[in-house]
Structure 1
């Protein structure tokens, strides 16, 4: 089903689970991980039987960001040299992998345990729904190392949470607990440690039960209209929404409700 030595891919029903799998390095980003991530996003969107994606990390950690030890080495190389050809072919691949320059059309749910800092929190901002274990640690630590959170945080974070909280997170570089991250709106759910993936899969299953064309159109509309005026956004919403009513799935939904049975959506 794909994947690399640092990124595992698993199918759970109609959900594709992508797992950052470098626990010995707290799932710090590597070339194999980035290539695997991007291939995972593409694979999910190419397969109409996949209706949602869950992103998580192995070993009780989400992602500790960039591999600073490799970054500090003489040549700045990261593990996985065999993947350099992919990077040369597509110099934008790492940004697509981190959801900076790519947005999957399927909903993406993050299941966070342990550390989700620096690049981990940057990837998090590209996901749609977020669940964290109660002892998870989040934050953007770049300024502590005289670095810049160039994964999109200075643009995205103030649009996702109140600006005062975004600036505090960006400028102090301090850690945030899962509860604090939920309070400021960065996380949607805080659950007992070790159950973030379970909760994410439950949310995914709820999404999977819905009409896939409607789900994807709703997600697209939310993001497409984010920077529009209200008038422009409402016009765009009609352009996105009206065609959904003409689908066979839109007829199946009300029919199944009337007949008191589960709907069978065929993406048509």
Structure 2
């Protein structure tokens, strides 16, 4: 497992837990954090034993967005991270899930601030759980900036356009209850329990057939902008092969025998 001084990596069974760990700055994005994040996504993609990923933040916050000083490498020994960024100028966009989509489901566990770049990363996750006091928002326009992490494209595709435009154009904060009401997050739980709730969801995902789970996720995203007829054709192409897998046969046997299935990615 990887990790950096601002990104913790650990395993919980078949779940990879990535923790943004810069609580003194409400987990604002830094070079070490971005490099660690991208390495975490790559680890999840490469390791078949990992069936899901949970993304969370340390110290009661999720992510307060970009830290421009830290991204410039000031105030820390960051040469190795600057070298990584120089070698791959797209690395920060991949880390923020703008230019990379992990093949495993990614579940966000949000406590506290999830604003600006935090809300942009959130849009790259698949399932989202928030504590009651979590706060969301895209504040860029208030500072004369542009939310270039993908929000003008993704947000109107994930929530109703009128809500997306209100969030983008007013720069106001949103409570967890408001975020759930407009569909930005899926569920709201008591403060301090978002990670536990996300891990419980991950366990449910992990108990399912991994080939089926990954194919379903891929189908949802690859058909999102297709016409219905093209999307249905793509779904068949993606889905039919799953029925021929040993895992599919195991699932049917386990159901008939009233026992948990043992999937082997075969």
* 8 Å contact kept, 2:133–2:176: yes
Gaps of 5+ in 1: none
Whole-angstrom distance in 1 between the partners of 2:172 and 2:196: 28
Aligned to 2:6: 6
Following superposition, the deviation at residue 144 of structure 1 comes to 1.0
**4+ residue runs of structure 1 moved beyond 2 angstroms?**
68-71, 76-82
Aligned to 2:22: 22
Task: Describe the shift of the 1:230–1:28 C-alpha distance in structure 2 as closer, same or farther (beyond 3 A).
Answer: same
RMSD (CA atoms): 1.0
Which of 182, 185, 205 is matched with 1:184 structurally? 182
Aligned to 2:46: 46
- How do 1:237-248 residues align onto structure 2 when only pairs under 5 Å count? 237-248=235-246
* 8 Å contact kept, 2:133–2:175: yes
* 8 Å contact kept, 2:73–2:82: no
Task: Describe the shift of the 1:11–1:258 C-alpha distance in structure 2 as closer, same or farther (beyond 3 A).
Answer: same
Gaps of 5+ in 2: none
Alignment partner of 1:83 is 2:81: yes
Aligned to 1:133: 131
Aligned to 1:223: 221
* 8 Å contact kept, 2:54–2:109: yes
* 8 Å contact kept, 1:31–1:81: no
Whole-angstrom distance in 2 between the partners of 1:247 and 1:164: 43
Whole-angstrom distance in 1 between the partners of 2:164 and 2:36: 30
* 8 Å contact kept, 2:31–2:70: no
TM-score, scaled to structure 2: 0.98
Secondary structure of the corresponding residue to residue 130 of structure 1? strand
Following superposition, the deviation at residue 68 of structure 1 comes to 4.4
Following superposition, the deviation at residue 192 of structure 1 comes to 0.2
Following superposition, the deviation at residue 81 of structure 1 comes to 3.2
* 8 Å contact kept, 1:18–1:53: yes
TM-score, scaled to structure 1: 0.97
Aligned to 1:55: 55
Whole-angstrom distance in 1 between the partners of 2:17 and 2:70: 27
How many residue pairs align between the two structures? 264
Whole-angstrom distance in 1 between the partners of 2:161 and 2:73: 35
- Show CA shifts across 1:123-170 (max 9, x none): 000000000000000000011111110000000000000000000000
* 8 Å contact kept, 2:211–2:265: yes
